[in-house]
Chain A
Amino acid sequence: MAKKKKDAGKLSVFTKGLIQQNPIFVFLLGLCPALAVTSSLETGVGMGILVIFVLTASNIVVSLFKNFIPEEIKIPAYIVIIATFVTIVDLGTEAISPPLYDSLGIFIPLIVANCLIMGRATSFASQNNVGRSALDGLGMSLGFGLAMALIGATREFLATGELAYGVYLPLGFEGSIIGLEAAPFSMEVFVGPAGGFIVIGVWLAIFNAIGQHRQHRRKIARDRWIEKKKQQAAERKRRKAMEGGSA
């Protein structure tokens, strides 16, 4: 029984970052890459993969060394750890996928300044064990990657009318998920800076609206439930009073 409860806790550590506490859409962390490298689905996904690696690795290392790092020099130590992993990722991307490296450009070294990674290190990994920290890092960065993919897909589809794959990521095959039927209706502005801001703004508003709708529904359901309970209680009271009266 206790074990089951613990497992459920672990699962929520992993899943909370996906939607409930999504770094981009809920906490608005890491908006710089979310705007800059999401002009296509693939660059967004590529950035997401790099962040998954850096955040998971840095969370693991931070929680491994949490007892050896003096409280006083916590922040410098975290910066050094994160910068080391970013350098590894930078050099690795250049070797594995040059097109992705070129299209992400300066935003690979800038992962080091991403508030999300530093924030998770200080607020989660420095207080939890290795397994939970790794799961938290994986979940949070997956949430980041999902949001990047969503923004990238929206922008690429609106700007070119298709969703291409195999251009930046070294998949070994190329093509596009949606054909070019929508191309005549494409709006090139969405590939540019203005489109980035507007697409994220609209998605945020949509998620807000969904959240508010759900809250509203929940409130109505709760009100109904309370009303029902009240009626039942009144019914019981009346019956009791009647029984008491007959007796």
Chain B
Amino acid sequence: MWPAIATVFIIIALYLGTYLLNRRTPQPVDAAPSSEACESCMNYSCGFKQRMEED
């Protein structure tokens, strides 16, 4: 039981760490992906899709 809980927490920490690191790394200037490519995609959970719909 304890190894399972420990492993899950370690992996969650790893994911959170990489996620935050990636989020805080700025996007290269004028390298934002074109909205044209996203148009036909149906994946509403994608971060880009949400950002585009907010705009």
Contacts and interface: CB of A to CB of B under 8 A. Distances in A.
Direct contact of A and B (CB under 8 A): yes
Interface of A: 27-29, 72-73, 75-76, 79-80, 115, 118-119, 121-123
B43 A75 contact: no
A122 B19 CA distance: 17
Contacts of A79: 15
Contacts of A76: 12, 15-16, 19
Interface in B8-53: 12, 15-16, 19-20, 23, 42-45, 47, 50
Given A72-B20, A72-B23, A75-B19, A80 B12 contact: yes
A73 B42 contact: no
A29 B12 contact: no
Given A27-B42, A76-B15, A115-B45, 7 more contacts: A28-B42, A29-B42, A72-B23, A73-B20, A75-B19, A76-B19, A115-B42
A122 B50 contact: yes
A122 B23 CA distance: 17
A122 B44 contact: yes
Interface of B: 12, 15-16, 19-20, 23, 42-45, 47, 50
B45 A119 contact: yes
A75 B45 CA distance: 9
B interface, over-half SS: helix
A119 B16 CA distance: 20
A210 B45 CA distance: 29
A31 B45 CA distance: 15
Contacts of B19: 73, 75-76
Nearest to A78: B45
B28 to A, nearest CB: 21
A182 B14 CA distance: 56
14 contacts: A28-B42, A29-B44, A73-B19, A73-B20, A76-B15, A115-B42, A115-B43, A115-B44, A115-B45, A118-B45, A119-B43, A121-B45, A123-B44, A123-B50
B42 to A, nearest CB: 5
Contacts of B23: 72
A81 B37 CA distance: 30
The list of the 7 closest CB pairs from A to B, nearest first, reads A118-B45, A119-B44, A119-B45, A76-B19, A28-B42, A115-B43, A115-B45
B45 to A, nearest CB: 4
A233 B45 CA distance: 51
A54 to B, nearest CB: 15
Contacts of A115: 42-45
Contacts of A27: 42, 44
Nearest to B47: A75
A123 B46 CA distance: 11
Contacts of B43: 115, 119
A29 B43 CA distance: 8
